[in-house]
Amino acid sequence: MTRRVLEYPGAVAGLLFLGALICFALAAPLLGLDPLEQDIIASLEGPSATYWFGTDELGRDLFARAVFGARTSLSTAAGAVLIAGAIGVPIGLISGFFGGWRDALLMRFVDVLLALPGILLAMAMIAVLGRSQMAALVAVGITGVPGFARITRAQVLSLRARDFVTAVEALGASATYSMMRTVLPNAWSPILVQAVVLSSVAILLEAALAFLGVGIPPPTPSWGEMLRTGKSYLHEAPTYAVLPGLVLTLTILSLDSIGRSMAAVLERDDPLTPARQGRAA
């Protein structure tokens, strides 16, 4: 699949950008970047050779903050996708495989999660959990559960009807064996596509929550928080909000274009596969 995804120029551009971003995020401490060091005399400066993105109201290096913001964003997204997958995939698997009352019950649960738009569900959870990185991660993760559950269920339903599953069951395999060893391994591709799509949603959602002032609390550098504060200094330092926003946007567009290329490859290979769900946030 990897090689065929690389046939799409959008996916290649996306992978290159994400690759560079991840390298910067990983190497940040080695590059001597400090997101918290203040140089109050040099506050709200524009981009320069010393400060590539300029400085914020406390004279902190905005480039360093953007790079450390990438760590926050990417790790929150990864954690959220893991949570969403760990809850959503089993729900979809059991629901699609067994059908009947289990299906009805689990899908009603998913419907309840879908009763609110994603961002509001996340805000409601944060209202209860309080503002912290963990709360943001869990809240964003839970909003991704319905996407995983539905895509897995649809995939399992279509696999169940295929001959090789019937054959395994005719050979006397237990339900657990046929579900875990026959159906699930064949359902991974669309789940993987969903994971990529969801990570772009998760990054957007995390940033939106921080922008609204209910996400990861300061002083942890976060792109959404930078946009929130930068918005107050549009006259003094226009690049303050613009550049971190650009990094955020490019990250989202990169993941989106990789996800869409993967879905297109999947659709070409196997038109029966439900390739992707709409965005959740």
Partner 1 sequence: MTGYVLRRLAQMLPVLLIASLGIWAMIYAVPGGPAGMILGENATPQQLAALRAELGLDRSIVAQYWLWLSGALTGNMGRSIFYHQSVASLIMERLPATLQLGLCSIIVGLLLGMPVAVISAIRPGTWIDRVLSGWSALALGVPTFWLGILLILLFAVELRLLPSASAHVPFFEDPLAMLKNVALPAITLGTYVSGIFARFLRASLIAELNADYVRTARAKGLPERQVIGSHALSNALLPFVTVVGLMTANFIGGAVVTESVFTYPGLGRLLVQAISTRDYPLIQGAILVIMVIYMLTNLIVDVIYAYIDPRIEYA
The residues in 242-281 that bind partner 1, with binding defined as CB under 8 A, are 242, 245-246, 248-249, 252-253, 256-257, 278-281
List the x/- string, 226-245, binding to partner 1 by CB under 8 A: -x--xx--xx--x--xx--x
Q: How far is the CB of 261 from partner 1 (least distance, A)?
A: 12
The residues in 176-215 that bind partner 1, with binding defined as CB under 8 A, are 200, 204, 207-208, 211-214
Tokens of 45: 């400066």
Q: How far apart are the first and last CA of the chain?
A: 27
Q: How far is the CB of 131 from partner 1 (least distance, A)?
A: 9
- Residue in 88, 210, 196, 228 with CA at minimum distance from that of residue 137: 210
Distance CA 94, CA 67 (A): 41
Contact between residue 201 and residue 253 where contact means Cβ atoms under 8 Å apart: no
Nearer to partner 1, 23 or 112 (CB): 112
Q: How far is the CB of 119 from partner 1 (least distance, A)?
A: 4
Instruction: Please provide residue 132's backbone torsions phi and psi, each rounded to the nearest 5 degrees.
Output: -160, 170
- Asked if 92 interacts with partner 1 (CB under 8 A), we say no
Instruction: Please provide residue 61's backbone torsions phi and psi, each rounded to the nearest 5 degrees.
Output: -70, 115
Nearer to partner 1, 19 or 117 (CB): 117
Nearer to partner 1, 174 or 249 (CB): 249
Nearer to partner 1, 35 or 147 (CB): 147
Distance CA 209, CA 215 (A): 4
Contact between residue 190 and residue 155 where contact means Cβ atoms under 8 Å apart: yes
Nearer to partner 1, 165 or 221 (CB): 221
61 bridge partner residues: 55
The residues in 123-152 that bind partner 1, with binding defined as CB under 8 A, are 123-124, 126-128
Burial track 232-242 (b if 16+ CB lie within 10 A, e otherwise): ebeeebebbbe
Q: DSSP letter at 181?
A: I
Interface residues toward partner 1, by CB under 8 A: 10, 108, 111-112, 114-120, 123-124, 126-128, 200, 204, 207-208, 211-214, 224, 227, 230-231, 234-235, 238, 241-242, 245-246, 248-249, 252-253, 256-257, 278-281
